[in-house]
Amino acid sequence: MAESIAVVTGGNKGIGFEICRQLARKGINVVLTARNAARGQKAANTLQAEGLNVVFHALDVTDAASIQALAQSIQQTYRRCDILVNNAGILINGDGMSVMREPADVVRETVETNVYGPMQLMQALIPVMKQQRYGRVVNLSSGLGQLTDMGDGYPAYRLSKTALNALTCMFAAATEGSNVLVNAACPGWVRTDMGGSSATSGVEQGADTAVWLATLPDSGPSGKLFRNRRRVAW
């Protein structure tokens, strides 16, 4: 097989940056994407300085034209795409916000990034995976999106991750039998700008399950949610 190509969204910091590092350490060519060119290029430079095969490409997941430009560039440059990690995400209102008060605008903004972004990226990149009969897609979800553990607080964010879980199932169904495996990963509670400094895990552990899913063998699962490499309920 030709060299593997991975696209990671929100790769400039946090869990996404660490996913880029861990994938590149496996010998995969990583396209680290970020909405801010300066921050993205700096992150790619840091990983290149570690001897890793990482290049930067601009991508704002809320911008359909930006997604199309990325997909075209990947097709022209590599003529393949093996891995997509939908990592970029936002969290606006946390545990202090009740669903009784969450403004609809916050829900809209959150869904633009956390749901429509990954959806359009899957629409843009899965066709080439299907064509080459190989692809691994990982959607960074959260325990806060689990219907089996639903509560108040984080309303827009919870809704967005539940919707992302549903998309994971839909795209898994749409790719059945094509050796494209689409799964969701809950990274745990991770020390990043989003997770905060009290979180229980470091980024190395936070990235681990996503990287494992991104490199599953052909016999691996599809359409499931995992935490700590174990399947968990939706």
Active-site residue, selected from the candidate residues 116, 134, 154, 157: 157
**SS3 label, residue 56:** strand
5 binds ligand NAP (CB under 6 A): no
4 phi and psi angles, rounded to 5 deg: -75, 140
**For residue 166, how many other CB atoms are within 10 A of its CB?**
15
Nearer to ligand NAP, 134 or 155 (CB): 155
Nearer to ligand NAP, 11 or 223 (CB): 11
In the annotation, is 157 catalytic? yes
Q: Shortest approach of ligand NAP to residue 88 CB, angstroms?
A: 3
Residue closer to ligand NAP by CB (options 10, 223) is 10
> Contact with ligand NAP (CB under 6 A): which of 44, 71, 89, 165?
89
User: What are the phi and psi torsion angles at 157 (to 5°)?
Assistant: -65, -45
Choose, by CB under 6 A, the member of 32, 52, 88, 225 that binds ligand NAP: 88
22 is a contact residue toward ligand NAP (CB under 6 A): no
121 touches ligand NAP (CB under 6 A): no
Minimum CB distance to ligand NAP smaller for 111 or for 126:
111
> What residues from 190 to 219 belong to the interface with ligand NAP (CB under 6 A)?
190, 192-195, 199
- Tokens 């905060």 found at: 196
Nearest-CA neighbor of 45 among 54, 37, 36? 54
| The binder of ligand NAP chosen from 20, 23, 30, 35 (CB under 6 A) | 35
Q: Count residues contacting ligand NAP (CB under 6 A)?
A: 31
Residue among 175, 187, 209, 211 that touches ligand NAP (CB under 6 A): 187
Residue 65 contacts ligand NAP per CB under 6 A = no
Return phi, psi of residue 56, to 5°.
-95, 140
Instruction: Give ∠ CA 201-46-135 in degrees, rounded to 5.
Output: 70
Listed in order, strand segments (DSSP E) in the chain are: 5-8, 29-34, 54-58, 83-86, 135-140, 180-186, 225-227, 230-232
CB nearer ligand NAP, residue 79 or residue 229: 229
The C-alpha angle with vertex 116 and arms to 111 and 122, in degrees rounded to 5, equals 145
Burial 183-213 (b: 16+ CB within 10 A, else e): bbbbbbebbbebbeeebebebebbbbbbbbb
Q: Which of 78, 189, 212, 234 binds ligand NAP (CB under 6 A)?
A: 189
Residues with a known catalytic role: 157
Residues at the site binding ligand NAP, with contacts judged by CB under 6 A: 9-10, 12-16, 34-36, 39, 59-62, 87-90, 113, 140, 142, 186-187, 189-190, 192-195, 199
